[in-house]
Amino acid sequence: MLKLLRKANTKERIGIILSVLFIMVQVWLELKIPDYLADITTRLQTPGTTVSDIFSPGSIMVTLSLLSLVASIIVGYIASRVAAGVTQRIRGQVFNSVMDYTPGEIKQFSIPSLITRTTNDITQIQLVIAVGLQVVIKGPITAIWAITKIADKNWQWTAATGVAVLALLIMLSTILVFVQPKFGRIQSLTDRLNSLTRENLQGIRVVRAYNAEGYQNGKSMDANEELTNVNLFTSRMLAIMNPGMSIISSGLALSVYWIGAHLIDAAGLEDRITLFSDMVVFSSYAFQVVLGFMLMTIVFLILPRALVSAKRINEVLELDSTIKFARESEQAANGKGTVSFKNVTFAYPNASEPVIKDINFTANAGDTVAFIGSTGSGKSTIIGLIPRFYDVTEGQILIDGQDIKSYSHQDLNEKIAYIPQNPFLFSGTIRSNMNFGHSSKLPEDDSEIYKALELAEAKEFVLGKEDQLESRVAQAGSNFSGGQKQRLSIARAIARKAEILIFDDSFSALDYKTDRKLRHNLSEQMAETTKLIVAQRISTIMDADQILVLEEGRVVGQGTHKELLESNKVYQEIAYSQLSKEELNNG
């Protein structure tokens, strides 16, 4: 928690100091009120006292109460501003940390867990800061200051107050011993419930198609019930606090008056008025002592969960991405879009075997290099190394003769346009998706956007929509078909005018006719752009300048379609399983 609180800036730290000062003013004002109450009590028992005599100290009491209210409002305002500012900064840092993670690092937490940490956990931190600045500081100040006021009044009353405070501390400690471990459980169960909810929503078509609503509902209900039971246990334990504190507070008041009654009964006539006045004042201060501890218990309701949340947030912030980019790129060598793999081997962290091993090839500017092989052969891994989703374990990847590790993040991404295996569109409009991200070569006007759409064979269906470029895109592009999403994703990449286009099986949802037209457009109108294509269909890669055949992470064939068809058995098996000899030879 302290690590997160240190993220407060100078302005927020000044706000914390001001909060403490106003809290001290508020406590002073509240503790002055019993003094005037004692004065009123004494005057009431003095013969000849008039209403005006009571009115003067009474009006001062009201004024002090109003000033205390103003101080409380100011403290609440400052605390809210500080809490909002600190958590805004933490949320931004968490987001930036996650954005720098590799896919493997994201899997360490899971996406639902990262969402929970960015939302629910940070909300817990905001709550504890906002409430803590008001009550954590005020509670001890009130309790200690009030104790100094009554310490020399009467040892019997002081002892009764001490017993009440001890009982309160024992109750709080006992409750927290049982409750604290449950808060970590609550957060992990929340992650699990979020994960199941996300899974159900993403796979709702499959769930319905398999009549699996009951099964999925059962999984969700089990997770929901487990979370509910843990929440009920913690809520019930914490619910003991309110009646417990009421019993202790009422018991203290009863003890003070019971002891006072005996003292007054045993005192002389002259001392009774003084004792009665002292009893009234003491009971007021004793209540302030208990109130101080009661205020601190409010934090005990939220602090345990906030501590768990702080730990989870720190786990995200402390995990540094293994991918480190240069701040500024070194001067690139001659070339424009040349990609070279030199003895590249890659293994996932803690894996016993590498995914790919000893990969060597060069794609010159304007070349089309394709990768084909069975599922799990390492095709997507190879091209995922180019934009540095992962770093190579051994070997070197060069772009224009320069190691990709020497490029800054922005410069590397300026050179590469990546179309993922599963096309993803962002909520907004077609135009906002086409202009997505940052690049010095993004479309300057609609004509450039339409040109990219035309190259990707997407212009026709975009023009067919009523709002055309302003047509709404739902989250993840769910209001478009698979083929439309792929074409829009390809158009978005083309619009960046990058030197290297990477297609990670990005033609799979296209029909053969559209596939052929799109490849023809790329070949004719983007002849200077280097194209790296992962594909399952032979027809997609037959015209490639170079084809790499992969098997179990190794290159088992390399050449043109014609060369491989003549000499490579793995390629032959794939090819003849998809097309006839006549179609292959004509290709």
- Domain holding 522: CATH number? 3.40.50.300
Sequence letter at residue 409? H
Residues 289 and 364 in one domain: no
Structural domain includes residue 333: no
**Which span out of 141-150, 386-395, 576-585 was modeled with the highest average pLDDT?**
386-395
Residues 176 and 72 in one domain: yes
Identify the residue with better confidence: 119 or 508.
119
Residues 243 and 343 in one domain: no
Structural domain includes residue 237: yes
Run of H or E residues at 402: strand 402-403
Structural domain includes residue 327: no
Q: Counting every residue, how long is the chain?
A: 587
Convert the pLDDT of each residue in 500-550 to its tens digit: 888 888 877 777 788 788 888 888 888 788 889 888 888 888 888 888 888
pLDDT at 586 over 70: no
Residue 434 CA to residue 98 CA, distance in Å, equals: 24
What's the pLDDT at 1?
Answer: 66
CA 274 → CA 42, 259, 266, 441, distances in Å?
A: 8, 15, 13, 87
Boundaries of domain holding 428? 339-586
Token pair for 23: 């809290």
Residues 368 and 306 in one domain: no
Residue 184 CA to residue 308 CA, distance in Å, equals: 6
Structural domain includes residue 93: yes
| CA neighbor of 128 nearest in space, from 5, 235, 245 | 5
Phi, psi angles (nearest 5°) of residue 142 = -60, -45
Convert the pLDDT of each residue in 399-428 to its tens digit: 888 888 888 888 888 888 888 888 888 888
Residues 266 and 388 in one domain: no
Q: Which residues pair with 326 in a beta bridge?
A: 408
Single residue among 318, 351, 366 that ends a domain in this structure: 318
pLDDT category at 587 given cuts 50, 70, 90 is: low
What's the pLDDT at 233?
Answer: 85
Phi, psi angles (nearest 5°) of residue 360 = -135, 125
Residues 363 and 274 in one domain: no
Residue 77 CA to residue 72 CA, distance in Å, equals: 9
Residue 29 CA to residue 54 CA, distance in Å, equals: 19
Structural domain includes residue 314: yes
Largest CA-CA distance found in the chain, in angstroms, rounded:
124
Residues 96 and 217 in one domain: yes
Residue 108 CA to residue 322 CA, distance in Å, equals: 13
- The DSSP call for residue 427 is S
Residues 125 and 273 in one domain: yes
What's the pLDDT at 217?
Answer: 85
Burial of 523 (0-12, 13-18, 19+ CB in 10 A): middle
Contact 233, 293 (CB under 8 A): no
HEC profile of 492-523:
HHHHCCCCEEEEECCCCCCCHHHHHHHHHHHH
Residues 544 and 441 in one domain: yes
Structural domain includes residue 325: no
Say how many domains are in the chain.
Answer: 2
Convert the pLDDT of each residue in 198-230 to its tens digit: 788 778 878 888 788 888 888 888 888 888 888
For the segment 232-259, the average pLDDT, to the nearest whole number, is 79
Mean pLDDT of the chain: 80
Residues 441 and 304 in one domain: no
Residues 313 and 347 in one domain: no
Structural domain includes residue 415: yes
Residues 270 and 388 in one domain: no
Token pair for 486: 């792929």
Structural domain includes residue 326: no
